[in-house]
A = this chain, B = another copy of it.
Amino acid sequence: MSEVKKVVLAYSGGLDTSVILKWLQDVYQCEVVTFTADIGQGEELEPARAKATAAGIKQIYIDDLREEFARDFIFPMFRANTIYEGEYLLGTSIARPLIAKRLIEIANETGADAISHGATGKGNDQVRFELGAYALRPDIKVIAPWREWDLNSRQKLLDYAERHGISVEMKKGKSSPYSMDANSLHISYEGRILENPWTEPEEDMWRWTVSPENGPDQATYVELSYQNGDIVAIDGVTHTPHQVMEKLNKVAGANGVGRLDIVENRYVGMKSRGCYETPAGTVMLKAHRAIESLTLDREVAHLKDELMPRYASLIYNGYWWSPERAMLQTMIDASQIHVNGKVRVKLYKGNVIVVGRQSDNSLFDENIATFEDDAGAYNQKDAEGFIKLNALRMRIAAKKGR
């Protein structure tokens, strides 16, 4: 336990990681480097700097990773229409590999031999942080205080904070009874009354979306422009990836879009109940499927659909930096070359309704699809042979008495 010289801590400035900071200094007697990232969680970062300074930290990293997060993590994931267990848009999962990567980069820059994080021993996040870290630097030491210390309740944590003069009133005003996580893609809630899956969440839990009931009575229409499977413009105006997230979060959230309440299967083996707000992501999933419906070959689309659950599990389970995720990504990205065009979406009281899609790369052929006379574009007689040969194996089987 004593061999650590310098540790990079993923530091939010909140109670938990402030206690961890102190605890690392005390128990490991090592230098601590703090790393605080803006990944769109919507909190001021400067207080974290002040607190770290006050705690005697000399190397303080505060990074704005919002564009990188959207461009290199969120967008690639949405190219696959990724959704875990039919419902979850992987908001927490997709941020962790970026944090892991920066932790290792900073460790390399500062000559640190260890990293530390505030994730508990029961959750998925420890796995995501650590698998990423090990994949990127195999000899890194990982300190996961929640798995080591005996501060296994809120009260013990508070006592420790008080004993060591750690300011507890932090995050005042928005203190919440829930365990929460936020970034450009989503905000999540776990714990407390949610631990009973039969209980409906209270309205005041939600932070990013109005309820469908409180959305405007007039629908909002949004036009999304795609290039290679990514949104590049909204209503005709070019947006960077992070600007897309920001803009869509705002407009979708205002229309009550993006709430989710599920029981999910954690990688560590238990079921847990979580509530999520993913306003932009909910629109993006629907709209991306719509632009693909016009521009993607059928079999390519089906193959993507069949592989998606596995790709989603890889991300959920923390394998972003694995070779198998990279391999799948190669294929997914290759599929997006023609996914260009526009999707028109209507947002209304919780609904995301696709009302139009168009593309210069469209494979939709009105001449063939039409119910009217198609002037010979399609020979209906071909269907007979098509059916007959597709039926042949079943006919043979039936003749043989099956």
Contacts and interface: CB of A to CB of B under 8 A. Distances in A.
Interface string A238-279: 000000000000000000000101111100111111000000
Interface string A180-223: 00000000001110011111110000000000110001010000
A200 B355 contact: yes
Contacts of A380: 120-122, 146-147
Contacts of A321: 394
Contacts of A121: 378, 380-384
B131 A389 contact: no
Contact of A331 (B199, B330, B381, B385): B330
A322 to B, nearest CB: 6
Nearest to A291: B263
A299 interface: yes
A125 to B, nearest CB: 11
B198 A392 contact: no
A260 to B, nearest CB: 9
A340 to B, nearest CB: 12
Interface string A349-393: 111011111100111111011111110001111111111111111
Contacts of A330: 330-331, 334
A305 B309 contact: yes
B394 A131 contact: yes
Contact of A297 (B120, B154, B328, B397): B397
Given A303-B327, A369-B270, A395 B355 contact: no
A293 B268 contact: no
Interface stretch (A21-29, A46-54, A81-89, A224-232): A81-89
Contacts of A373: 152-153
Interface in A66-109: 81, 85-87
Contacts of A366: 195-196
A35 to B, nearest CB: 20
A130 B87 CA distance: 33
A328 B353 CA distance: 32
Contact of A369 (B219, B272, B355, B356): B272
Contacts of A368: 122, 270, 392, 396
B268 A392 contact: yes
Interface stretch (A4-12, A136-144, A159-167, A168-176): A136-144
B265 A349 contact: no
A154 B298 CA distance: 30
A30 interface: no
A145 to B, nearest CB: 10
A301 interface: yes
Contact of A322 (B299, B355, B374): B299
A395 B303 CA distance: 20
A399 B120 CA distance: 24
A65 interface: no
A313 interface: yes
18 contacts: A121-B380, A121-B382, A122-B374, A134-B398, A191-B371, A195-B369, A197-B364, A269-B396, A270-B392, A270-B396, A272-B364, A273-B369, A303-B310, A323-B402, A327-B334, A368-B396, A381-B385, A386-B388
Given A269-B392, A306-B306, 13 more contacts: A86-B289, A153-B373, A197-B358, A200-B346, A269-B298, A270-B392, A297-B394, A299-B324, A327-B331, A338-B402, A349-B349, A361-B400, A381-B385
